[in-house]
Amino acid sequence: MSATDRPLKSSHPGLVLLLISMAAFMCALDTTIVNISLPSISKYFGSDIATVSWVSISYLLVLSSTLITFGRVADIRGYKKIYLAGFAIFTIGSLACGLSSSVLMLIGFRVLEGAGAAMLQAIGGAMVVRYLSDKMRGTAFGILTTSAAVGLAAGTPLGGFLSQFYSWHWIFFVNIPVGIFAIVLALTILPRDSGEVAAGRFDLAGAGTLLVALVSLIFFLNMGNNLGWLSWGILASIIVSAAAWTGFILNERRAQRPLINLGLFHSRNFAMAVVVAMLVLLMGQGSWYAFPFYLELEKGFAANIAGLILLAPTLLMMICGPIAGFLSDRIGPRFISILGSLALITAFLIFSIMGAKTTLTVIIIALAIEGIGIGLVMPANFNLIMGMSTRGDEAVISSLVNTVRNVGAVMGIAVITLIFLSVLAAAGISAANIDPHNLPMKAFTYGFHAVFLFGVVTGGAILLLSLAMKNVKAPK
């Protein structure tokens, strides 16, 4: 059955889109809302920072490494069941996190919460394709992108507010009423979806090897700069990841019902679009990680002011996301992606020449241009990829996109940090026990510029890939 033959269109498209957007918002929110509260959690339990950091890392690991598995389960069992199960697990996990009596218990329940979030994030794009009309698909992807962006941006200020005026427990309790509302609404308005179209034997071997491959990959990308890229733990993770990826690919080639149809990557359009999905998050997450150091250390802004300045790209993503999605339905995703990549290159060129004398106006304009670029590329890219999905594979393709995005985000932080430390090493500054507040400003500026010149190169790669893609229009 072709990708354009889509039954189960909902008679409540606005409410369905609300449900999908709520899931995207909550999954993204819980990625960042915890980070600012880690010192409070550490003090409350009397635990060291290294242990407490796993409250964040465990969620990210589970979320990123189980997306594709849950996507395939959703294709087999039906999206409504997985949505309801995902929000139920996410809500129960949030309640358990807030009631945790030890840091190890909290980490364990964050794993449960991450599994629920993975179920929700895996099927968001697939629910758009399955439940909404084709003519509103691009707009829906734009709103989905915006919801996730708002969740990421809102996490830090909301987490700080709840921790300061209530307690860290409330960063988890706040999820409970949202989860209950989503479950009740989903029971009422989501169409029944049996999933028989993808029925078949579940690829357990593929799911297992993929889990090991992704966990080890994300672990060494996330921890490499902290533990040292040549430490035994990181080297072991690299070896395990390479072996698991090899085993996964071999298994998928001979499995009767593989977890992922690797034949999709024989399509140049599909393969290039997936790479773009990874690169745009690599650029975005890398810049959002690095920019606070520039604003606070070189420009001297207070942390709260720096946070407000960094809302500029999010606001523009909110505006451009739905517009980009709507236009990609009308004129095709390729042109939108080209415009977005040009905006990204422009923003990073400006970033790469910023210094202590750069005015606040220029900084905000550059960040806004970055937001426009990401807001254009991401919905158009998602629309293009999902337009190539086939009936019964929508959820696994949706989860594949979200997985490569998450990996790209982790890679962005790892690569940006590695480039920065390499520039410092070239200047004779040791990375051991480095204190950014005591860095020579000249070395800091060189490192900052090198980081964003890398972003220019990455933006160039996105532009070349966008130019090489076929201008596939969304089906009418």
Q: Which CATH class is domain 1-196?
A: mainly alpha
Confidence (pLDDT) at 372: 92
Q: How confident is the model at residue 134 (pLDDT cuts 50, 70, 90)?
A: confident
Confidence (pLDDT) at 427: 66
Report pLDDT digits (tens) over 195-219.
554 455 677 887 888 888 888 888 8
CATH 1.20.1250.20, domain 263-476, yes or no: yes
Confidence (pLDDT) at 460: 92
Confidence (pLDDT) at 451: 87
Confidence (pLDDT) at 366: 93
pLDDT at 473 over 50: no
Q: What percent of the chain has pLDDT over 70?
A: 89
Report pLDDT digits (tens) over 270-280.
889 889 988 99
More confident residue, 395 or 428: 395
Using H for helix, E for strand and C for coil, what is the string for the chain?
CCCCCCCCCCCCHHHHHHHHHHHHHHHHHHHHCCHHHHHHHHHHHCCCHHHHCHHHHHHHHHHHHCHHHHHHHHHHHCHHHHHHHHHHHHHHHHHHHHCCCCHHHHHHHHHHHHHHHHHHHHHHHHHHHHHCCHHHHHHHHHHHHHHHHHHHHHHHHHHHHHHHHCCCCHHHHCHHHHHHHHHHHHHHHCCCCCCHHHCCCCCHHHHHHHHHHHHHHHHHHHHHHHHCCCCHHHHHHHHHHHHHHHHHHHHHHHCCCCCCCHHHHHCHHHHHHHHHHHHHHHHHHHHHHHHHHHHHHHCCCCHHHHHHHCHHHHHHHHHHHHHHHHHHHHHCHHHHHHHHHHHHHHHHHHHCCCCCCCCHHHHHHHHHHHHHHHHHHHHHHHHHHHHCCCCCCHHHHHHHHHHHHHHHHHHHHHHHHHHHHHHHHHCCCCCCCCCHHHCCHHHHHHHHHHHHHHHHHHHHHHHHHHHHCCCCCCCC
Q: Does the fold of domain 263-476 match that of domain 1-196?
A: yes
Q: How confident is the model at residue 476 (pLDDT cuts 50, 70, 90)?
A: very low
More confident residue, 180 or 14: 180
pLDDT at 321 over 90: no
Mean per-residue pLDDT over the chain, rounded: 81
Report pLDDT digits (tens) over 238-285.
999 899 989 988 888 887 777 777 777 888 888 898 899 889 988 887
Per-domain residue ranges for the chain?
A: 1-196, 203-256, 263-476
Q: Global pTM?
A: 0.77
